[in-house]
Amino acid sequence: MSLDRAQPATERDSPDPAGKVNILLVDDRPDKLLAMQVLLSELHENVVSVPSGKEALRRLLREDFAVILLDVNMPGMDGFETAALIRSRSRSEATPIIFVSEIDPADNHVARGYSLGAVDYIQSPVVPEILRAKVAVFVELYRKTEMVRRQAAEHARFLQEQTARALAEAEMQRMTFLAEASDTLSTSLDQRQIFESLARLLVPRVGDLCLVDVLAGKGGLHQVAVAHSDPVVEESLRGLQCFAEENCAVQVLRTARPVFCDALTPDLLDSHFPQPECCEIVRGLQPTAYLAVPIFARQQLVGAISLLGTGGRVFETRTLALAESLAQRAAVALDNARLYRRAQDARLEAERANRAKDDFLAMLSHELRTPLTPVLATVLGLTEQEETPASLRPHLELIRRNVELETRLIDDLLDLTSISRGKLQLRLEVTDVHEILAAALAICRPDFEARALQVTCALQATRTLVAGDAARLQQVFWNVLKNAVKFTPPGGRISVSSWDSAPNGLIVEIRDSGFGILPEQLAKIFDAFEQVDRKNFGGLGLGLAISRSLVQLHRGEITAHSEGQGTGATFRIVLPTTDAPAQASTGQLVDVPVSAADGLRVLLVEDNADTNASLTWLLRRRGFDVISAHNVGTALALIDAHGLDVLISDLGLPDGSGLQVLAYALGKQPRLHAIALSGYGMAEDMQKSRDAGFRHHLVKPVDVQKLEEAIQLRDAVPVRHAAGAESAAQS
Ligand code: ADP
């Protein structure tokens, strides 16, 4: 049997796993130690034997013992000294000590031992039963004490856990409430509604009466929300100025700090609610607690929330913290509402400016077109006149080309306006892309020749029918070809090719050997007004933007590719094809053979003197019987006096509108063929003409050729409109 059997217990509250308690035997004589150990082994506890007081103290530093059996007579540190030191340490001050001594316990010396904390004496030689019985009592006592201590610790831990859980739950509820509050507050973008939601959130959950006041000029207060669970009380307080401006129970607004009062006396109540009417109502509610917190928006004090607890409700500091958190959330909601309002105002302003820009562009193009009509008409007339000298013809051609170019620029501006308004309309029919491409190439041929460009064509697509607007697709091809010419130096190459693309489409590729496009510019060239070199090449930078929109309206795609400067550029247009043959297409437009002009009485109503004179002259030269008027009055008189077969009328006239002339003429001649002339070419302008009964709507400057075609389409229903003009015929 070892002298030192007990496992050291490092923690006071970690009992021996076997449930045994420690008993310490201290004696310098090994035989006595052994004897006692044997005697106590029947108790089935841990018996630890040490040979000296010093060793006993060392063990007591680390372990707890149910009882210590201490020999009184030991060499060096005797039992009394050891006992004194054991008592002096807090860990062992209450450990029972039984002295084992040869001295009779009745002896007076024994008193010393008791004074040093001995709980008992055992006379040596020990009587086994007495020894075991005494030790067993202390072992039992130790067990009970340990159990009580453990239970107390567990109870304390349980209470601690419960408190922590209650706090966590309260915090969770607070956070949920605040999150819900944020949601509620952010649903409105109106300041008053935000404050009303705020008051409703606080009552009755946090307080019984809530008033929200905001600063209203010159430091005054203005009530913006009131909430009480009784609607009658709420109504009686609504709109009342509860807080006098000079007193301002809401010191909050003066100090920008919260006011908190959890014991509301009548005096305090008077100071918080100085207005008699308001004070009376509030008194009737028997308030017991009051708090007010400031509301800041963008670091500016904007108002205060006042909260009243009634019927014994008390406010705690966390009530104040909650009210402050809500005030902060209301401030955020107010700020969002302000930003939203500002964004909305900015959007409305941008929309207004955009509309103004569109209207301006429409008017500008009208004003720009009007003077071009007589110029173009006169040039055409002079070209057709045999007596015009040959030396003048190149100059006339130059004027024609430039007027047409200017018309094109104006058209581009108008197209862009229509696209941005989403009002560009396509006249869809089944049409052959190769034919359209050929027409675009034909228009560009003089330019190819002028710059000695080598043009090759390899049109290999087998599916070439698309459901598209031929004029608009031609505009796209022409734009890309015109750019290829413009950006390719004289003598360069342009190749045009086409092939089928899977599953149902075709690709048209226009490749040039010109200046090419830098990679960083490639992404931008399809944006309106984007140009790489405005100075040297002119233009408005609209062609590709319009082309892309037109191709997209055809459910196709246009892309550009270039290896960089000096490497040329490649444009690809992908279009979805259709199987329907051209002649089977619905809504297909039909040409009508040209009839003779002779004998047709045409009334031309145009207030612009130059345009009127030149068109009259040109139409007469084509064999029409033209009578002309400059205003509505004269036009009606001429209709009465002469009758007419065809009416050509400007829409804007000094004394009225072309629509009035048409209405009058249709009254006289229901099958009248009427053509509107206008500087306005937007879809809605054309629709207006169509609704009034005009069969065609020609946009100025008017090409006499197209005007003549429109006249000769008289009686043809439906009609194909001349290129560049819109047919107003109903099919
Ligand atoms: P515009 O030609 O009137 O300037 P576009 O919209 O047709 O307007 O073209 C936009 C820009 O794209 C041009 O200014 C030019 O910088 C670039 N670009 C278009 N086509 C080519 C091309 N074939 N080669 C080089 N650059 C081109």
- What is the tens place of the pLDDT at every residue in 324-375? 888 888 888 888 888 888 888 999 988 888 778 777 877 777 778 788 888 8
Determine the residue of 520, 525, 536, 546 to mutate for testing ligand 1's pocket, defined as the one with the most ligand atoms within 8 A of the Cβ atom. Answer: 525
Strand partners, 726: 697
| pLDDT at residue 168 is higher than 50 | yes
Query: Looking at 239-248, 518-527, 619-628, which range is the least confident one?
Result: 239-248
487 lines ligand 1 (CB under 6 A): yes
CB of residue 539 inside a 6 A radius of ligand 1: yes
3-state SS assignment for residue 548: helix
Q: Which two tokens stand for residue 30?
A: 């090994």
Q: Answer yes or no: is the C-beta of 543 below 6 A from any ligand 1 atom.
A: yes
Confidence of residue 410 (pLDDT cuts 50, 70, 90): confident
Domains of the chain: 22-149 (3.40.50.2300), 186-334 (3.30.450.40), 429-576 (3.30.565.10), 588-730 (3.40.50.2300)
Expressed in angstroms and rounded, the spacing between residue 499 Cα and the centre of ligand 1 is 24
Q: Does the beta carbon of 531 lie inside 6 Å of ligand 1?
A: yes
- For strand 646-650 and strand 673-678, is the pairing parallel, antiparallel, or unpaired? parallel
For the cut 80, the answer to whether the pLDDT of residue 518 exceeds it is: yes
Nearest atom in ligand 1 to the alpha carbon of residue 544 is: 6
The CA-CA-CA angle for residues 692, 697, 703, to 5°, reads 155
Instruction: Note the pLDDT tens digit of each residue in 629-641.
Output: 999 999 998 898 8
Q: How far does the centroid of ligand 1 lie from the alpha carbon of residue 544, in Å?
A: 7
| pLDDT recorded at residue 107 | 65
Give 505-532 as a 3 state SS string. Answer: EEEEEEEECCCCCCHHHHCCCCCCCCCC
- Which of the pair, 681 or 27, is modelled with greater confidence? 27
Task: Please say if the pLDDT value at position 665 is more than 70.
Answer: yes
Task: List, for residues 466-481, the tens digit of each pLDDT value.
Answer: 998 888 898 899 999 9
Query: Does the structure show a pLDDT above 50 at 591?
Result: no
Kindly state the average pLDDT of the residues 94-108: 78
DSSP 4: B
What is the DSSP track for 80-129?
A: HHHHHHHHHSGGGTTS-EEEEESS-TTSTTHHHHHHTTEEEEEESSPPHH
Q: Give the residue-averaged pLDDT of 653-673.
A: 90
DSSP string, 335-349: HHHHHHHHHHHHHHH
Q: In which band, very low, low, confident or very high, does the pLDDT at 719 lie, cut at 50, 70 and 90?
A: very low
For residue 692, the number of C-alpha atoms closer than 13 Å in the C-beta half-sphere is 23
Per cent of the chain over pLDDT 90 is: 30
**C-alpha 483 – ligand 1 centre gap (Å):** 6
Nearest-CA residue for ligand 1 atom 16 is 532
Position 240 scores a pLDDT of 77
Ligand 1 centroid, distance to 531 Cα (angstroms)? 6
Which ligand 1 atom is nearest residue 528's CA?
A: 6
- Yes or no: say if 138 and 96 are a contact pair by the CB < 8 Å rule: yes
> Which tens digits make up the pLDDT trace of 434-468?
999 998 898 888 889 999 999 999 999 999 999 98
Nearest CA to ligand 1 atom 25: 516
| C-beta 560 within 6 A of ligand 1 | no
Quick one: pLDDT band at residue 287, thresholds 50, 70, 90?
Answer: confident
Report the atom number in ligand 1 closest to the C-alpha of 531: 14
What are the helix (H) ranges across 290-392? 317-369, 372-384
Higher pLDDT, 514 or 105: 514
- Tell whether ligand 1 has an atom less than 6 A from the beta carbon of residue 532: yes
pLDDT at position 648: 95
Distance 525 CA to ligand 1 centre (A): 7
Alpha carbon separation from 603 to 365, 626, 643, 694 (Å, rounded): 26, 6, 9, 14
The per-residue pLDDT for range 305-326, each reduced to its tens digit, is 888 898 888 888 888 888 888 8
pLDDT higher than 90, residue 617: no
pLDDT score, position 65: 94
User: Can you read off the two tokens belonging to residue 631?
Assistant: 């205003």
**Position with higher pLDDT, 414 vs 696:** 696
Which of 412, 455, 520, 544 gets mutated to test ligand 1 (max ligand atoms within 8 A of its CB)? 544
Question: Which of 451, 478, 531 to probe ligand 1 with, by most ligand atoms within 8 A of CB?
Answer: 531
Reply yes or no: is the peptide bond before residue 51 cis, omega within 30 of 0.
no
Atom of ligand 1 nearest to the CA of 480: 20
Q: Whose CA is nearest to atom 23 of ligand 1?
A: 484
Mutation test of ligand 1: which of 451, 477, 483 has the most ligand atoms closer than 8 Å to its C-beta? 483
Beta bridge partners of 510: 496, 571
Q: What's residue 588's pLDDT?
A: 33
Instruction: State phi, psi for 20 to the nearest 5 degrees.
Output: -85, 150
Calculate how far, in angstroms, residue 511's C-alpha sits from the geometric centre of ligand 1: 13
**Cβ atoms of 193 and 166 closer than 8 Å:** no
| Structure token pair of residue 287 | 């308030």
Which residue shows structure tokens 């401030």? Answer: 331
pLDDT mean across residues, the chain: 82
Q: Which pLDDT score, from 0 to 100, does residue 539 have? A: 65
Residue 541, ligand 1, Cβ within 6 A: yes
For ligand 1, atom 1, name the residue with the nearest CA. Answer: 541
Tokens of 431: 């049409």
